[in-house]
Amino acid sequence: MKKYFYTVACLALAGTFAACGGGNKKTADATQTEESATTMPVSYSKALQAAETDTLTLPVDKDGYITIFDGKTFNGWRGYGKDKVPGKWVIEDGCIKFNGTGGGEAQDADGGDLMFAHKFKNFELELEWKVSKGGNSGIFYLAQEVTSKDENGNDRLEPIYISAPEYQVLDNANHPDAKLGKDNNRQSASLYDMIPAVPQNSKPYGEWNTAKIMVYKGTVIHGQNGENVVEYHLWTPQWTEMLQNSKFSKEKWPLAFDLLNNCGGQNREGFIALQDHGDDVWYRNIRVKVLD
């Protein structure tokens, strides 16, 4: 049987983020900079300055999927805005596990979100997840590494969730976020704070759930435990309206509104990432089918 391989460019990082609006030297992976009419300038950063590009060749299975976590190593993975995997992310029994502190989105030096360091555009992502009692996490897609300038002119790394839609990962029965938002739109597999997952078919904490996310030319589908539970369309008036009715509205959070309204940047592609929300969470069997 013929084997196929998919080569990804995984960006090893060094130095500091390319700041927007400055005179930073451009590399082969130069930052795409867009200036919003209503917010500070923002950098869509593929990597830190002085980036070195490594290639990672991964096998493609008979169904066309690329396994991006081999169950043994973090090959191809790194922390959001970091050049290595944060220490609280470990490999345990063939799973990626985050060792939580119970402190919520603390994002301390040993924590932070974990991402596969290659951008995908049109794709189908499949994985399994489980959480601890009261656990909270999320799966981001089309994410950017975004920096901006603070009031003192210093570089600031913005949180990943202001540039990326989020597939919610949650213990619905025990985490208070399940009762917040509107119409259960913060429960498991929902498009966080925008569209509730229907039907809501998640399993209790400690049990494995299957997740599927398809992104194809603006159409996005969330699947959970074998059923499609969310469908929506990016870069449309309806998408803008949903943002405006969420916590990411133009009035409440103008930077997030602008980034999410144009998520994926100019090329409409981005990173897949797993959220550090301070709670124990496990992920396994992570694979992607490229639909381009």
User: Over the stretch 184-209, which tens digit does the pLDDT of each residue have?
Assistant: 999 999 999 999 999 999 999 999 99
Assigned domain for 2 exists: no
- The set of residues, in sequence order, having a beta carbon less than 8 Å from that of 241 and lying 6+ positions away, is none
pLDDT above 80 (res 16): no
Assigned domain for 276 exists: yes
Q: Are 13 and 78 in contact (CB under 8 A)?
A: yes
* The predicted structure's pLDDT at residue 179: 94
The CA-based diameter of the chain, rounded to the nearest angstrom, is: 60
Domain count, the chain: 1
**Calpha distance 188→185 (Å, rounded):** 8
Assigned domain for 160 exists: yes
* The predicted structure's pLDDT at residue 11: 62
* The predicted structure's pLDDT at residue 105: 66
Assigned domain for 218 exists: yes
* The predicted structure's pLDDT at residue 162: 95
* CATH number of the domain encompassing residue 153: 2.60.120.560
Q: Is the peptide bond before 199 cis (omega within 30 degrees of 0)?
A: yes
Tell me the two tokens of residue 225.
Answer: 């435990």
What's the average model confidence in pLDDT over 131-140? Answer: 96
Assigned domain for 49 exists: no
* The predicted structure's pLDDT at residue 242: 95
pLDDT above 50 (res 240): yes
Assigned domain for 50 exists: no
What's the average model confidence in pLDDT over 256-261? Answer: 96
User: Over the stretch 20-45, which tens digit does the pLDDT of each residue have?
Assistant: 333 333 333 333 333 333 333 343 33
- The set of residues, in sequence order, having a beta carbon less than 8 Å from that of 212 and lying 6+ positions away, is 124, 125, 126, 221, 222, 223, 224
Residue 237: CB atoms within 10 Å = 8
Assigned domain for 37 exists: no
* Residue 201 φ/ψ, nearest 5 degrees: -120, 25
Assigned domain for 30 exists: no
Tell me the residue range of the domain where 188 lies: 56-290
